[in-house]
Structure formats: structure tokens, C-alpha cells
């Protein structure tokens, strides 16, 4: 008996899709729910799984063909002997991969085959719902291996979506009996990821997989590649006594090239650093702390050497090719879509914040004592920017079906730079906060972002974005609006420099604290005059520096 595999519905208003890559060839075996091909639409790229287990008899669409929803893509039968010659349109015997970025990824059954079988009953761990409109996620890292023990709510794996990276905890305590999804594999919400139970784990034979693995070409139907599925973490091997070498190797596995270079520059041995990131990952902060500890214990030099400038070491990424991460794909898609949809431009003003700097100097010690937070310029910028949004609601509006939606609250997205990429978690109802409230919220969200602890709710609902482009010394830039928002405010670095000021009825030159504020906005609903009015009001509010009653201490 043969079963047809059709192009499924891929979302509202999606009527067709393009076959981008076949993951199986005629004659190859496919399991239930194993990805058969990749399809691209104007809204999403996804995999189409097989509905049954069997052998690929026919491929009825070629790569790059555009097919309608409901069209037959392939035929699956009970025996490889039923396989016919490729039907028109001609389908490739196997996908040809000419770049490491496009390598086919191991399928879930292959990963499962490598895992030992459980001798007792177990509880399935499924991919939970991760936010509105999120239908799938990518397994980025397993934090436990088959045979490891795990507690209730202890993180089992990390999952990445186009909105958030998060951990999936175990719903029960027990032993990891099976891992059913490989790292870097994308699965639907509700799919079973692993089995956790209280039974012993018995070794099972390793089954081969026919997923293509060669970096330059895929196996043909007549000679499928058979390689053990090593994507799933293997069960730990008992040792007579713990040794240092495996621990060091484990540390290395969690170190990014940037952190590795930072450690080398500071003379830090990564094997001696205890990582505070997820799963023991060594973070930039860990290396800096270790470097500071080394500096504190290092003996003072007997004689100061002559001043020399060390030649910078080249980045380990130089000359390499790496694939887009899921987050980078999402950022790329969102920014290009924003620029193609909105009529964006940027208006810039220069602001003298010398009075804020003076207030900050007077109050920073008291502020730290009472709130536990540093009094930063960012908190003043956030407070004033949101306060002025209430007077100029068009800056806080959005476009929906040729209508302007004026939002009832100001939900402030804060851009946070991490090793994984750029995130913008949201401070809900920001207009109700004091400056102390902003300091606490910004610090808390930034910490959870960098520690990969954000929830889907943290990433949704923003109506206006604030990005501190001056944190790395930039005077200003032209930030891209994050749709469906209509505006984003970039704050440049604060610079002490000479400026003309009014003094004794005349003018004088004095050293002042100056900053550029750049507002990018959607010209479809925000005119240049609207932007100028908002920025002029913001400039006046900041230069007056009347914030003592708003400090919240």
C-alpha cells in the first residue's frame, strides 16, 4: 500500500510553497514524522514530515518547484522494490550540498536510535508552548545525557525560537531514558523530546541513519550513507575516579570564540574557570572575574618595562564560514522586512546633559544605598522618553490595516546585546515607573537576557524601543524600527567637550556633557515635524534636569 505526502497548510493566507531541499531520495527509508523535505513560503521555512514509515517510491516535485497547498509531493510505500524511476518533473536522486551552511540535519529517529532503550516506564518531555504564534523550536543544546539523573523542574535542554531562547525543564524526577531529538533539529510544539523515568537504562543496538552527512554531496538512493547517529548525547561511562582532563574538555565545549580570545588576552586558563552560564557555560564575566583575581595576586614588577603596544591577535573567526543561527535568521528577516515595509528616516538632536550629570553625582551614592542599583544616564533617558510619549502618542502608535493604533500604555523595549545576538525585552506599562523603577527593570531584564532566562512574554507587546548605541562609544547611529512599532530612540555616548553656553547675559565656552539622540520613525504616520516636536520636548526636559522628585528614593 502506498501513501501520498501532500503539502500541508502552512498558515493563514499561504496558498503555495517552494520545495527548497529534499532530505530523502527515491529508495530510502523514512520513519513516521521524520522530515522528508524542506519547503519555503513568504512567511516561514519549514520541514514536511512523512505521515507513515516506509520507503520513498516517488518524488513528484523538483527542488525550486512552486507547488500549491494540498499538492502531492511524494509517495511512500511498504517496500523499496516499489520505487520507480524519478517522475516528471525530474527530482534529484539526492540533494547536493555545496556549502556547510546547507548541510541536512540528522532526523529525530536517527537520534533516538543511538540512545539506549529504557527498561522501565517513563514520562515524555514535550516541547511546551513558547508564546503566541510560536509553532516550533530548535533544540540548541542538551544539558543532560541518557543515563543522567534529573530533578523536577531541573533544565533538561535549551530551545531556541524566533522570539526567545529558553530552557525546557523536566516535569518529573528520574533518569533520562531516551533523547528523541538531535541538537540543531527543529520540532513542532507538542513534539516529544525525551523520556524520563525511574527504570534502569539498558544498552540498545545503534541503528544506522540514511540522513546525508557528507560536506560536499549527499548519498544517492543506490548507496545511502550509513553512519551512527551521534547527535544525541551518549550515556556517561563510569570511571574509577574523576580526573581533571574530562572537566577541562567539558569547559572548552561551552566557550565561545570571543570568550576564548578574552581568556587568552588576559592569561586566564579556561580549565580553572567555573562557568556561571547555563549548563556551566563560561561567560565573559567569568573570564573578567578570573583575570581580576590573577591581577590581585600577581607580584608587582621589580622594574617598569618600557612601554610597548602589543600587536592585536587576529580573531579566531577570521577566514571561517559559519551558518546563521536561528536568532540571526530572525533578526535578518525582521530588519529587512521593516525597511521594506516602512518609510523610515532618522532625526537627530544634540542635548546638553551637564545638569543631569551634576544631579547624578550628587545622588548616586544615596541612590545605590537605597536601591542597590547604579544611577545611570540610561534611566534618565528612559524616564523622559516615555514621559514625552504620553504627550506625543503618535510616536508610540502603530499601523494596522490602514489605521493608526494609538496604544493605551507605553511598553518600552530595551535593546540588549549578548554573545548570541541582539534581544529587546519589554518593560510593560513603563509610564508608571520612577527612575529607580527603570534602573531595577533595566538591570533585571539585561541580566536575564544575558543568562538566557527570558520568557516569551518578556519579548512581546513592545510599543517603542530604546537602544543605547553609545554603550560602545558611538556618537549616534540610525537604528531600524522594530515592527509593528513605529519609532526607536538611539542614545549616543556621553562626551565631555567644549560648547557655547549663555553666561552673564552673553555667551561663553565651557566644558559640558553632551549626547546625541537619534529617533528613527515610520514616515507613513509620523511626519518630520512630529519627530522634531517630540525630540525638542525631550531635549528641553533633559536639559532642565528636574528629576529629583522622580528618582523614587
pLDDT in tens, 334-378: 999 999 999 999 999 999 999 999 999 999 999 999 999 999 999
N- to C-terminal Cα separation, the chain: 75
Model pTM score? 0.53
Q: Domain 326-550, what fold? A: Chloramphenicol Acetyltransferase (3.30.559)
What pLDDT is stored for residue 538 in this prediction? 97
Question: Over the range 367-386, which residues count as b (16 or more CB within 10 Å of their CB) and which as e?
Answer: beeebebebbbbbbbbbbbb
Determine what percent of the chain is predicted with pLDDT higher than 90. 40
Answer with the residue of higher pLDDT: 211 or 517: 517
Query: Is residue 159 within 8 Å of residue 127, measured between CB atoms?
Result: yes
What pLDDT is stored for residue 27 in this prediction? 87
Answer with the residue of higher pLDDT: 277 or 495: 495
Same fold yes or no, 3-95 and 108-210:
yes
Q: Mean pLDDT throughout 461-481?
A: 94
Q: Please determine, for residue 87, whether its predicted confidence score (pLDDT) is greater than 70.
A: no
What pLDDT is stored for residue 94 in this prediction? 39
Residue for cell digits 523520556? 195
Question: Over the range 59-96, which residues count as b (16 or more CB within 10 Å of their CB) and which as e?
Answer: bbbebeeebeeeeebbbbbeeeebbeebeeeebbbbbe
Decide if 407 is catalytic: no
Tell me how far CA of residue 279 lies from CA of 326, 346, 365, in angstroms.
Answer: 20, 42, 36
Burial category of 473 from C-beta neighbours within 10 Å (exposed 0-12, middle 13-18, buried 19 and up): exposed
State the CATH architecture for 244-294: Irregular (4.10)
Q: Please determine, for residue 279, whether its predicted confidence score (pLDDT) is greater than 70.
A: no
Domain definitions of the chain by residue range: 3-95, 108-210, 244-294, 326-550
Please state which CATH number belongs to domain 108-210. Answer: 2.40.50.100
Around 505, how many Cα atoms within 13 Å sit in the side-chain half-sphere?
0
Catalytic residue among 417, 451, 477, 523: 523
Decide if 417 is catalytic: no
* CB-based contacts of 321, cutoff 8 Å, min separation 6: 99, 100, 101
- Maximum average pLDDT range among 29-43, 208-222, 287-301: 29-43
Q: Domain 3-95, what fold? A: OB fold (Dihydrolipoamide Acetyltransferase, E2P) (2.40.50)
Q: Please determine, for residue 403, whether its predicted confidence score (pLDDT) is greater than 80.
A: yes
Tell me the pLDDT band of 235, cut-offs 50, 70 and 90: very low
363 Ramachandran zone, left/alpha/beta (phi>0; psi -120 to 50): alpha
Catalytic residue among 64, 269, 527, 546: 527
Q: Please determine, for residue 220, whether its predicted confidence score (pLDDT) is greater than 70.
A: no
Question: What mean pLDDT is reported for the chain?
Answer: 80
Tell me the pLDDT band of 227, cut-offs 50, 70 and 90: very low
Return the C-alpha cell found at 387. 514621559
243 Ramachandran zone, left/alpha/beta (phi>0; psi -120 to 50): beta
Looking at 25-29, 273-277, 442-446, which range is the least confident one? Answer: 273-277
- Cross-strand pairs, 6: 72
Amino acid at each position: 500500500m502506498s501513501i501520498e505526502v501532500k503539502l500541508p497548510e502552512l498558515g493563514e493566507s499561504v496558498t503555495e510553497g517552494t520545495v527548497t531541499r529534499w532530505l530523502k531520495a527515491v529508495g530510502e527509508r523514512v520513519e513516521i514524522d521524520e522530515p522528508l523535505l524542506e519547503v519555503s513560503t513568504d512567511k516561514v521555512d519549514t520541514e514536511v514530515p512523512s505521515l507513515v514509515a516506509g520507503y520513498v517510491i516517488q518524488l513528484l516535485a523538483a527542488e525550486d518547484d512552486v507547488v500549491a497547498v494540498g499538492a502531492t509531493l511524494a509517495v511512500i510505500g511498504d517496500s523499496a522494490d516499489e520505487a520507480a524511476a524519478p517522475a516528471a518533473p525530474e527530482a534529484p536522486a539526492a540533494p547536493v550540498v555545496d556549502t556547510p551552511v546547507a548541510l541536512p540535519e540528522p532526523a529525530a529517529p536517527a537520534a533516538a536510535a543511538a540512545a539506549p532503550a529504557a527498561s522501565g516506564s517513563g514520562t515524555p518531555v514535550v516541547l511546551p508552548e513558547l508564546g503566541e504564534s510560536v509553532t516550533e523550536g530548535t533544540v540548541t543544546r542538551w544539558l543532560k545525557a541518557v543515563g543522567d539523573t534529573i530533578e523536577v523542574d531541573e533544565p533538561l535542554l535549551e530551545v531556541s525560537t524566533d522570539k526567545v531562547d529558553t530552557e525546557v525543564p523536566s516535569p518529573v524526577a528520574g533518569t533520562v531514558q531516551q533523547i528523541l531529538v538531535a541538537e540543531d533539529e527543529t520540532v513542532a510544539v507538542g513534539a516529544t523530546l525525551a523520556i524520563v523515568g525511574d527504570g534502569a537504562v539498558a544498552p540498545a543496538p545503534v541503528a544506522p541513519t540514511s540522513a546525508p552527512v557528507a560536506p560536499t554531496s549527499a548519498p544517492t538512493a543506490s548507496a545511502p550513507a550509513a553512519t551512527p547517529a551521534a547527535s544525541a548525547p551518549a550515556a556517561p561511562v563510569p570511571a574509577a575516579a574523576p580526573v581533571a582532563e574530562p572537566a577541562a574538555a567539558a569547559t572548552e565545549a561551552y566557550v565561545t570564540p570571543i570568550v576564548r580570545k578574552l581568556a587568552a588576552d588576559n592569561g586566564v586558563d579556561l580549565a580553572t574557570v567555573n562557568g556561571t552560564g547555563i549548563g556551566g557555560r563560561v561567560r565573559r564575566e567569568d573570564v573578567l572575574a578570573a583575570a581580576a583575581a590573577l591581577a590581585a595576586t600577581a607580584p608587582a614588577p621589580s622594574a617598569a618595562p618600557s612601554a610597548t603596544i602589543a600587536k592585536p591577535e587576529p580573531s579566531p573567526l577570521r577566514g571561517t564560514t559559519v551558518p546563521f543561527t536561528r536568532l540571526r535568521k530572525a533578526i535578518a528577516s525582521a530588519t529587512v522586512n521593516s525597511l521594506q515595509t516602512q518609510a523610515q528616516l532618522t532625526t537627530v538632536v544634540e542635548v546638553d546633559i551637564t545638569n543631569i550629570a551634576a544631579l547624578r553625582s550628587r545622588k548616586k551614592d544615596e541612590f545605590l544605598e537605597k536601591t542597590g542599583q547604579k544611577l545611570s544616564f540610561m534611566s534618565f533617558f528612559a524616564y523622559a522618553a516615555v514621559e514625552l510619549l504620553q504627550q506625543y502618542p503618535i510616536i508610540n502608535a502603530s499601523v494596522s490595516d490602514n489605521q493608526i493604533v494609538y496604544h493605551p500604555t507605553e511598553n518600552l523595549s530595551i535593546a540588549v546585546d549578548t554573545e548570541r545576538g541582539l534581544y529587546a525585552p519589554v518593560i510593560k506599562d513603563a509610564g508608571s515607573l520612577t527612575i529607580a523603577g527603570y534602573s531595577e527593570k533595566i538591570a533585571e531584564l539585561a541580566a536575564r537576557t544575558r543568562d538566557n532566562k527570558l520568557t516569551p512574554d518578556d519579548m512581546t507587546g513592545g510599543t517603542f524601543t530604546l537602544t543605547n548605541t553609545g554603550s560602545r562609544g558611538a556618537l549616534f547611529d540610525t537604528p531600524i524600527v522594530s515592527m509593528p512599532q513605529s519609532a526607536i530612540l538611539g542614545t549616543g555616548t556621553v562626551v565631555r567637550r567644549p560648547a557655547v553656553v549663555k553666561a552673564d547675559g552673553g555667551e561663553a565656552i565651557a566644558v559640558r556633557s553632551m549626547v546625541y539622540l537619534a529617533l528613527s520613525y515610520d514616515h507613513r504616520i509620523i511626519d518630520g515635524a512630529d519627530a522634531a516636536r517630540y525630540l525638542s520636548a525631550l531635549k528641553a526636559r533633559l536639559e532642565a534636569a528636574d528629576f529629583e522628585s522622580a528618582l523614587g528614593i
